[in-house]
Structure 1
Amino acid sequence: MAAGMLAAPVPAEASAHRQGPPAEASPYRPGSLTDPNLRFVGRWDTSDPATYIGNWESPYVEMRFTGTTLKATIRDAATVYASIDDGPVATYSGVSGTIDLTPTPLAGGTHTVWLSYRTGELDTCATWPSPCATFQGFTLDRRARTLRLPPRRKLVEFVGDSITVGALSSKNTVTSYSWLVGKQLGVDHTNIARSGACLVQLSNCFGLDTNFGKQTIGGTTDWDFTRYAADAVVINLGTNDAGRGVSGPDFQAAYVNLLRQARARYPHAALFAFETFRQRFLDETRAAVRTLADAGDDNVHYIDTETWLTAEDYVDGGHPNDAGHARIAQRLAPILAPHLGVALPGSTADRNIDFAGRWDTTNPAAFVPQWAGAYLRTGFTGSRVALEQRGAIDFWYSIDGGPYTKATNVSGRVDLTPTPLTEGRHTLLVSYRIVAGSYTGDAVFQGLSLDAGARTYRLPRPRQSTEFIGDSITAGYTATNMSLSAFPWIIGENLGVAHTQIALSGSCLRELSATESIRGIRCYGLEGRYTKLGFGDGAADWDFRRYRPDVVVVNIGTNDVGHGVKSADFLVAYEKLLLTVRQRNPHAEILALRIFKGWWAAETEQAVQARREAGDRRVSFVDTTGWWDPATMTNDGTHPNDHGHRVLADYLQPYVAAALERRS
């Protein structure tokens, strides 16, 4: 066998997992109040070590855990909401004692849960609107454990009345805009609000200017503001003051007082004053914002909400319904996101979206995939997702690992879930049709649109990646789903690695002008264009620091034959390409394929041999003799059909797997 030529590899046996040291005995019961892996958000009274009490609206507790069953224990009867793994929100009305949160056991693995309440905010645990939010812990499977949640470094505090707490919506606070915005932005959120509240303290109305600093509304205990610091405060007050005859000057003075309290407690927070949806005290609210701004506070803002809702968005003309709260959240989240320093879920800046391949990201609002086989993938919650597309284009998408669906000549907001999904966690993969030749679509990704309150989450990132260099065969020309049906994509998905195709239909190895080609047609040469962001003239250099493939597969030369490239010139170009690939990817395994039609076999093997003699031991020649049956594997004698790509993937995959193993 010639030096550098690979025999068919034998799959290596899986190595045994290394066992770590035995875990130390836990100093706390998993799920108990002393478990540091529980996260309590809101104004919780933790003075009683046996029972924590959540005050104001929507205090909640979160946990990450293993096992298949979960129970929660509360002391006093209350209405409880809970969601496991971002699934549907379950409502438990008037319950107390032990609550089974998993009447149907979960699948094994790691899970998350949040639990919240429709609370009574009075210091005495009185009965408005329901008893206090008492929590005494979770109960897990006998051998289950809790895990630390990913840290959240931002918190939004919502200050308001019944609109803020979601009164008359289907699940009160957890279907309110305040809850939805917090969930959507992936930040902690507190709700210093209650139905019927005013801004100004009155004998018949609790005033938030007086009660903002208290542990409970109407209580006497001051809240310890060292327990959390808000990064943004959103105030939506005035509706109830108007109904109780509060004067404009009194309202404005109270608003200034509340803004100053918030600033004193949260020196670095962005403060937002809502225009109430019924347009109460608009001038006074604006004037209060100006008062702080004129005093030098440049982080206080007025939010104009005049066009946000229509009559159909209300239950009773005053309280938004679920759709109304969703619309408020969709308008408010983009306003808060930049002040919090978080990316809007689904936007191009969202780091939970993985972009595989060569993407032009110079325009922060519009990412453009280059070459074939570039794709994006992310996880998302909720039941619906849409893609924001600038101009008409074809693309393919897969949800939850299902079959690829082709969207043809679509633009604008493209609904990817015409049939809504089950509420919960899902995955999405999107790949665009490459814009080349006669195809002139607008491959521009401008983001994803999710349900109100939904978010994205990062999928496990593959540890390794592959890159395939080639022409129309590598790009999947004539296959059903083009790049997604081609053998490089199949191999990458089968092996669970990131993958991309630096390939273009009609491309050569050697760059040829129209006068150099015997066909009188120009041919793009990958010997020089491999280093570029895209294949077009004048394309910027690709920044190879953005990813480093572990294995590079070269399959090029079919079109050089048709353009009359000479053997010596092909050899020189191949050696140049192999050297360029090595220089840009110092540690990659390089596999140089005998192209499937058998042409240039000697030149390809000779180029590999030259590299090995120069000291490169990570470049190899793969002899594809016997892999190719044009009668059954092609559409036209040259381009593989879907069956052909699967056959080629079956042949080539063991070589790629062995190369990945050598890299690991």
Structure 2
Amino acid sequence: MQITPHPAPAHRAGATRVLPALLTAVLLACLLSWAGASPVRAAPGDGSVSDPHITYTGRWDTSSGTDAVPHWTGGYLRTAFTGTTVKVKARDAVNFYASIDGKPDVFHAGVRGTVNLTPQPLAAGTHTLRISYRSGDTVFRGLVLDPGARTVAASAPARLIEFVGDSITAGALTDRLALDSYAWKTGERLDARHTRIARSGYCLVARSGCVGLSGQFFKTSSTGSQNWDFSRYQADAVVINLGTNDIGHGVPGTTFQSAYTTFLRDIRTRYPNATLFAVQTLKKRYVNETRAAVSARNSAGDARVHFVDTSGWLTDGTHYEDGNGHPNEAGHTAFADRLAPVISAKLPAQAGAPAAVAPGQPGDPSLKFVGRWDTHSSRTAYTPYWAGAYYRAGFTGRTVKLKQRGTVDLWARIDNGPVTFYDDVKGTVHLTPSPLPSGNHTLQVNYQVVAGSYRGDAVFQGLVLDSGATTFAPAAPRKLVEFVGDSITVGTTTSQNARTAYGWLIGERLGVEHTQIAQGGACLVATADGCVGLERQFSRLNPNATTPDWDFSRYQANAVVINLGTNDVGHGVSSAQFQAAYTRLLRTVRAAHPQAWIFALETFRGRYVPQTEAAVKTVTDAGDARVSFVDTTGWLTSGDLTDSVHPNDKGHRAIAERLAPIIAARIGN
């Protein structure tokens, strides 16, 4: 606590009264402490365990005021903070994961003391932090921030889903345990807070040494006897996956059914408004008994209890880590793909939230739109801007159709098969005239561009699926590379435009998402004769509009590749103008993508090369070490060009061959 000094008491009126009052307050505080009163709550923003800007999800013990201890598996904390660095204080050796600004979790193994989470300082501003503990001395002792920095309350999803189970729910045998479990993946997919009341080897019924979750669920920890205070949080949904282990401990079916019915009843008393899901175990144990327990609760008047049939969700040889029913990472992902829509369909709409979206329609969270798409102007039609935007979806069933508003050219790819071109199509476009085998499938669609502008009415209005089919989120790359440029980056004069441009080729080769912030004829500098200046338009949703700005929180690039300067010469841009504008663009990109590696390419015609190099040097000398100049001398020959400027398909492949390893060396692919 910081105390502001005052003048000496001899120089203040009433000093003889102030000092006794201060002593009385100190003594009273000491007496309260000796009496076991709760510690004084920390001031917001100080990063201590009691800082109200730090939120704890799961069953945490924070009563000491100095140590926060998560119980059960997969508990995590979230906050936001200002400044450029953050450290976390640990008591003893511990393993944990940390995610900053929504980036992939970084594993910190066997660390102790004050652990620096930002060895590479962040850009100045406000950042988010999530920490989840794996094993070891799982004790959180607070954060250390920059001088003058503070924590900020981070936004959090309104809903919370609690997952109850054994080793399967805990994510046993996967690489990251809880973070790879279907429970974590389902919670993230539904944009909900999530807890796991699960532990390996646990049963529903306590029998012959097996801990029974029908009783332990109501405790603070997985092994203790202290009751949990259910007023600390209320779940919107509880997902129960129990029964796999009971059979090995000789639990009769009648005993299991009775215990399950009572367990559902007891959970209802703690969570009066939750929707409860009783999941059929993957090994199909006690299926009839689980169904009967759900029916018993329904008959007793509890309509918000549901049985979940998991038949066919996972495949032997593909989705399992061993022969004991433990899913591998792909299995947990497949489980979450099927479970998330089941939960979503049964939960009531949140206050003020839009109605649930039908599978395959705009707004369906299983659809992934990559690039700069306008998803806000209309709830029923999504429009892509800039070149090379695409979307991906997973779907069940045997057929899929695409709803298009007006005539457009597009490419579609199903299950990583060949790419099919659809010329001048509109309305409901059948993408599977020959039905697929039953099961899970993936779809990728992108629209044709000409010189960076979309040809035709590139507006997505939804998918048409088989009766009873649904969508799921397909596995997605965790990294993204953004390519900034003109017609060369667009892929003008190649066979498939953006699809055969070096940016798309590199993205596919490295297994990353990719965007092309490029337009034919664009300059770096906006000129009086009408050349679109990407220094200015880079931050926009639409290359041909001054507003609105793009929301860079919608994705963060791991790398940004800039290839500009080919057209500026023809519009009279001076060397000094170009260098100043390039420097500003580098700073704009850094502000937009704080962690990205930025590559400034020498244009293939060798224009403004000293100025590009000088701009890179300016920002690196100012402390931005994650910017590189890329010398492209000799990358293309005359046989690689359609004309004197634009690479052909062979030329774009040549660029990809040279550039991909340069990017991979920096971002780790």
TM-score range for the pair, normalised by the shorter chain length? 0.5 to 0.7
Show CA shifts across 1:534-570 (max 9, x none): xxxxxxxxxxxxxx999xxxxxxxxxxxxxxxxxxxx
Q: Is 2:236–2:275's contact at 8 Å kept on the other side of the alignment?
A: yes
Give the Cα separation in 2 of the matches to 1:489 and 1:260.
69
**Equivalent position amino acid for 2:238 in 1:** V
Give the Cα separation in 2 of the matches to 1:86 and 1:308.
29
1:32 aligns with 2:54: no
**Equivalent position amino acid for 2:334 in 1:** R
Q: Which residue of structure 2 lines up, in the alignment, with residue 301 of structure 1?
A: 306
Give the Cα separation in 2 of the matches to 1:92 and 1:357.
37
Shift in alpha-carbon separation, 1:361–1:44, aligned structure 2, 3 A: closer
Shift in alpha-carbon separation, 1:54–1:358, aligned structure 2, 3 A: closer
Q: Give the 3-state SS of the residue equivalent to 2:258 in structure 1.
A: helix
Give the Cα separation in 1 of the matches to 2:531 and 2:168.
50
**Equivalent position amino acid for 2:160 in 1:** L
Work out which of the residue numbers 397, 401, 415 in structure 2 matches 1:390: 401
TM-score normalised to structure 2 length: 0.54
Q: Which residue of structure 1 lines up, in the alignment, with residue 245 of structure 2?
A: 240
State the Cα distance separating 1:304 from its structure 2 match: 0.9
The structure with the largest alpha-carbon Rg is 1
**Equivalent position amino acid for 2:250 in 1:** G
Query: Structure 2 matches for 1:44-83, cutoff 5 A?
Result: 44-83=60-99
Q: Is 2:81–2:126's contact at 8 Å kept on the other side of the alignment?
A: yes
Query: Structure 2 matches for 1:4-19, cutoff 5 A?
Result: none
Q: Which residue of structure 2 lines up, in the alignment, with residue 191 of structure 1?
A: 196
Give the Cα separation in 2 of the matches to 1:274 and 1:448.
19
- Between the two proteins, what is the percent identity of the paired residues? 41
Shift in alpha-carbon separation, 1:455–1:154, aligned structure 2, 3 A: farther
Q: Which residue of structure 1 lines up, in the alignment, with residue 331 of structure 2?
A: 324
Shift in alpha-carbon separation, 1:263–1:489, aligned structure 2, 3 A: farther
Work out which of the residue numbers 292, 312, 315 in structure 1 matches 2:321: 315
TM-score normalised to structure 1 length: 0.54
Q: Give the 3-state SS of the residue equivalent to 2:211 in structure 1.
A: coil
CA RMSD of aligned residues (A): 4.5
Work out which of the residue numbers 356, 363, 382 in structure 2 matches 1:349: 363
Work out which of the residue numbers 282, 291, 297 in structure 1 matches 2:287: 282
State the Cα distance separating 1:184 from its structure 2 match: 1.9
Q: Is 2:156–2:193's contact at 8 Å kept on the other side of the alignment?
A: no
**Equivalent position amino acid for 1:316 in 2:** D
Unaligned residue ranges in structure 2 (runs of 5+): 1-41, 395-399, 413-418, 423-430, 432-440, 447-451, 464-470, 481-491, 499-517, 523-529, 550-644, 647-669
Q: Is 1:198–1:239's contact at 8 Å kept on the other side of the alignment?
A: yes
Show CA shifts across 1:288-324 (max 9, x none): 0101111111111111111111122111122111111
Greater RCO structure (CA 8 Å; 6+ sep): 1
1:156 aligns with 2:161: yes
Q: Is 1:43–1:215's contact at 8 Å kept on the other side of the alignment?
A: yes
Shift in alpha-carbon separation, 1:49–1:186, aligned structure 2, 3 A: same
Show CA shifts across 1:610-649 (max 9, x none): xxxxxxxxxxxxxxxxxxxxxxxxxxxxxxxx99xxxxxx
Q: Give the 3-state SS of the residue equivalent to 1:136 in structure 2.
A: strand
**Equivalent position amino acid for 2:166 in 1:** D
Work out which of the residue numbers 101, 112, 115 in structure 1 matches 2:117: 101
Give the Cα separation in 1 of the matches to 2:45 and 2:375.
46
Q: Is 2:101–2:127's contact at 8 Å kept on the other side of the alignment?
A: yes
State the Cα distance separating 1:68 from its structure 2 match: 2.6
Give the Cα separation in 2 of the matches to 1:549 and 1:134.
45
Q: Which residue of structure 2 lines up, in the alignment, with residue 409 of structure 1?
A: 421
Q: Is 2:48–2:142's contact at 8 Å kept on the other side of the alignment?
A: yes
Show CA shifts across 1:165-201 (max 9, x none): 0010001111111111112222111111111110001
Show CA shifts across 1:13-44 (max 9, x none): xxxxxxxxxxxxx9355321122211110111
Shift in alpha-carbon separation, 1:73–1:137, aligned structure 2, 3 A: same
Show CA shifts across 1:216-265 (max 9, x none): 12322111111100000000000110111100011111111111111111
Give the Cα separation in 1 of the matches to 2:479 and 2:307.
26
State the Cα distance separating 1:485 from its structure 2 match: 4.7
Q: Is 2:164–2:241's contact at 8 Å kept on the other side of the alignment?
A: yes
1:252 aligns with 2:263: no
Shift in alpha-carbon separation, 1:241–1:157, aligned structure 2, 3 A: same
Q: Which residue of structure 1 lines up, in the alignment, with residue 131 of structure 2?
A: 115
State the Cα distance separating 1:87 from its structure 2 match: 2.5
**Equivalent position amino acid for 1:334 in 2:** P
**Equivalent position amino acid for 2:217 in 1:** F
Q: Which residue of structure 1 lines up, in the alignment, with residue 637 of structure 2?
A: none
Unaligned residue ranges in structure 1 (runs of 5+): 1-25, 120-129, 379-383, 398-406, 418-430, 457-476, 503-547, 551-641, 644-664
Q: Which moved more, 1:44-53 or 1:96-105?
A: 96-105
**Equivalent position amino acid for 1:95 in 2:** V
Shift in alpha-carbon separation, 1:339–1:455, aligned structure 2, 3 A: farther
State the Cα distance separating 1:493 from its structure 2 match: 9.3
Shift in alpha-carbon separation, 1:231–1:162, aligned structure 2, 3 A: same
Give the Cα separation in 2 of the matches to 1:291 and 1:114.
40
